[in-house]
Amino acid sequence: MKDPQFLTAVALYAVLAFAAWRTLDREFLWVTWIILAVFALKTLLVVLRRGQD
């Protein structure tokens, strides 16, 4: 989990989530957060799978 690319991706997801929180209305905010969560989860799964190889 100390992969620099993974940490960068998670940091960018956090920045996007914060930007969405500051700029979007409630309805679009939740949709955006769900999409970002799915991407973050997929990123985590790829990193974990890569570690098993």
pLDDT digits (tens, 9 = 90+) for 39-48: 999 999 999 9
pTM comes to 0.81
Which residues, at least 6 apart from 21, have a Cβ–Cβ distance to it below 8 Å? 29
pLDDT of residue 4: 87
Which residues of the chain register pLDDT less than 70?
A: 1, 52-53
pLDDT of residue 2: 75
Residue 5: name the closest of 52, 49, 44, 53 by CA. 44
pLDDT of residue 34: 96
pLDDT of residue 9: 93
pLDDT of residue 40: 95
